[in-house]
């Protein structure tokens, strides 16, 4: 279902971008070898632009994984549920004050503050957008 597609088989422009205050998501593709592409969700935020594997976002929203890492490294971002933060990490104390039904975007940096927090209607609208466009083959 989330396999690699040939670049010609996937047109991310057909899906509208999603946005909320400080965060934008859009479907994209990153090139692999032999003319193939990997579908990704490209996140634009105050920390920069990073891409997440579609399968990782699916697992995160289904709570099959509590933390997912961007497939791009500059910046290295993580989407996580608050309970997914490593108790030894600098972000752990901040996560304790965040609603457990939120999805948090954090950057691997010295800062412990989240880049963005999707909660309530913003989290639901992101999940709805992903369900409508992110899982399409």
84-123: per-residue pLDDT in tens?
Answer: 988 888 788 888 889 999 999 999 877 778 999 999 999 9
pLDDT tens track for 31-70: 888 878 888 999 999 999 999 999 999 999 999 999 999 9
Residue 4 CB neighbours (<10 A): 14
Task: Provide the domain limits for residue 88.
Answer: 5-134
Distances (CA, A) of 2 to 38, 53, 57, 99, 113: 9, 9, 11, 30, 32
Residue 132 CB neighbours (<10 A): 12
112, 82 contact by CB (below 8 A): no
- Number of structural domains found in the chain: 1
* DSSP β-ladder status, 36-45 and 5-6: antiparallel
Categorize the per-residue pLDDT at 9 as very low, low, confident or very high, splitting at 50, 70 and 90. very low
Q: Both tokens of residue 137? A: 């083959």
């Amino acid at each position: 279902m989330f396999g690699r597609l040939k670049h010609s088989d996937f047109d991310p422009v057909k899906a509208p971008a999603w946005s909320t205050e400080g965060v934008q998501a859009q479907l994209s593709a990153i090139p692999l070898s032999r003319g193939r592409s990997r579908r990704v969700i490209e996140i634009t935020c105050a920390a920069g632009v990073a891409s997440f594997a579609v399968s990782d976002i699916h697992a995160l929203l289904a709570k099959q994984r509590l933390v997912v890492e961007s497939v791009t490294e500059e910046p290295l971002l993580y989407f996580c549920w608050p309970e997914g933060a490593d108790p030894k990490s600098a972000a752990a104390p901040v996560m304790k004050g965040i609603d457990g039904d939120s999805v948090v975007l954090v950057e691997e940096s010295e800062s412990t503050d989240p880049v963005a927090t999707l909660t309530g209607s913003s989290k639901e609208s992101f999940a709805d957008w992903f369900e409508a466009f992110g899982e399409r083959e």
